[in-house]
Amino acid sequence: MTGLILLLICVLLISLSIWLFQRGLRQAGTARVLERLADGQPLPQEPNGTWIAMERMFQRAGLGKPTDRLGLWLSCWATGLLLGYLLADWLGLLAMLVLPPLLLRLYIAWRYQRRVQRMIEQLPQLLDHSVRSLKSGRTLADAVLGAIDSTEPPLKQAMSRIQRNVQMGVSLPESASDFAEFYERDEFRLFALGLKVNHRYGGNASELLENLIKMIREREQGARQLKAMTGETRMTAYVLAGLPIVMVGYFLMVNPGYLMSMWNDGTGRYLLLAAVALDISGTFVMWRMLRSI
């Protein structure tokens, strides 16, 4: 049985490699050029399906398009499902069916938050470079595009979306608005709004950007002070959420019969399930309270 499953895994991987090789041979140079031109452009708004949302999450996290390594990920997932079934029967199969997508979703969310926070920290430097370019006599569009070229990743990679849109004929304020809505952060929306107001009504662009720099830095300083002031509350929430899990793990290691006797009893089983439900509910409520701070 084990040899048959390993043979199926080998056949699956060989078939996948042959399919990827043939797909690479069939892909024409024109298709590659069109794909590079379309990369980073505004996503179509009509098809609002799950696949479009997945592409959006991957691109915002800086992981490219999910189709770039789709075959590799699916083959790894299929191999994990087979190994899980071999090692732990149906329980292992169920675990490998649920855990990898869940862990991938958590990793993408963590990577996006980390990346966008770094981009916000770099934004005042980009605006400061734009102000200096404006005072040297350059136009607002040239100053912003030049500042994008001089900045560092990840902001440079993310704002290349603006450069592509401008090269395709979209105005700078509209390109900045598309960028801000793609990453869904207030700092980027303020930047796009400032460009749009200056484009429509005119005014001193360097003064507008300087005020925007000051506001972003004050907002960042206020967020850090709030985080420091609520540190005790957040730590309390972490302890209350993790204490039941730690206690259950301790009892399972020291005296597993204590919990198993409750699980084998009908009333004890209901009590344990109720305790798990209450712990999950309390953790969710505390998480929502922390998110609202």
Looking at the fold, whether 205 and 123 belong to one and the same domain comes out as yes
- Domain for residue 151, yes or no? yes
- Domain for residue 34, yes or no? no
Q: What is the pLDDT of residue 58?
A: 81
Give the span between the Cα atoms of 158 and 231, in whole angstroms.
31
- Domain for residue 284, yes or no? yes
Q: Give CA angle at 273 (271, 276), nearest 5°.
A: 110
Looking at the fold, whether 238 and 287 belong to one and the same domain comes out as yes
Cβ–Cβ under 8 Å, residues 286 and 241: yes
Query: How many Cβ atoms from other residues are within 10 Å of residue 149's Cβ?
Result: 11
Give the span between the Cα atoms of 268 and 260, in whole angstroms.
9
Q: Give CA angle at 149 (186, 62), nearest 5°.
A: 55
Q: What is the pLDDT of residue 253?
A: 83
| pLDDT higher at 13 or 39 | 13
Looking at the fold, whether 136 and 195 belong to one and the same domain comes out as yes
Cβ–Cβ under 8 Å, residues 54 and 105: no
Average pLDDT, the chain: 78
Q: Which of 213, 238, 254 is the endpoint of a domain?
A: 213
Average pLDDT over residues 50-55: 72
String of DSSP letters for 101-162: HHHHHHHHHHHHHHHHHHHHHHHHHHHHHHHHHHHTT--HHHHHHHHHHHS-TTHHHHHHHH
Looking at the fold, whether 137 and 195 belong to one and the same domain comes out as yes
Q: Which of 181, 213, 245 is the endpoint of a domain?
A: 213
Q: What is the pLDDT of residue 45?
A: 45
Give the span between the Cα atoms of 82 and 38, in whole angstroms.
37
Looking at the fold, whether 208 and 247 belong to one and the same domain comes out as no
Looking at the fold, whether 245 and 272 belong to one and the same domain comes out as yes
- Domain for residue 111, yes or no? no
- Domain for residue 157, yes or no? yes
Q: What is the pLDDT of residue 42?
A: 45
Nearest to 65 by CA among 40, 42, 86, 87: 40
Looking at the fold, whether 184 and 243 belong to one and the same domain comes out as no
- Domain for residue 7, yes or no? no
Overall domain count for the chain: 2
Q: What is the pLDDT of residue 16?
A: 62
Q: What is the pLDDT of residue 19?
A: 61
- Domain for residue 245, yes or no? yes
- Domain for residue 33, yes or no? no
Could you report the per-residue pLDDT of 19-51, keeping only the tens digit for each? 666 666 666 555 554 455 444 444 444 444 566
Give the span between the Cα atoms of 117 and 156, in whole angstroms.
14
Looking at the fold, whether 207 and 264 belong to one and the same domain comes out as no
Could you report the per-residue pLDDT of 65-101, keeping only the tens digit for each? 776 666 777 778 888 888 877 877 777 777 788 888 8
Looking at the fold, whether 168 and 254 belong to one and the same domain comes out as no
Looking at the fold, whether 123 and 198 belong to one and the same domain comes out as yes
Average pLDDT over residues 152-180: 89
Give the span between the Cα atoms of 60 and 272, in whole angstroms.
40
Give the span between the Cα atoms of 34 and 26, in whole angstroms.
15
Share of the chain above pLDDT 90, in %: 1
Could you report the per-residue pLDDT of 176-226, keeping only the tens digit for each? 999 988 888 888 888 888 888 888 887 788 888 888 888 888 888 887 887
Looking at the fold, whether 121 and 207 belong to one and the same domain comes out as yes
Give the span between the Cα atoms of 98 and 35, in whole angstroms.
32
Cβ–Cβ under 8 Å, residues 119 and 155: yes
Cβ–Cβ under 8 Å, residues 171 and 150: no
Question: What range does the domain containing 238 cover?
Answer: 226-292
Cβ–Cβ under 8 Å, residues 171 and 148: no
Q: Which of 213, 238, 264 is the endpoint of a domain?
A: 213
Q: Is the dihedral of CA 59, 128, 167, 195 positive or negative?
A: positive
Looking at the fold, whether 230 and 190 belong to one and the same domain comes out as no
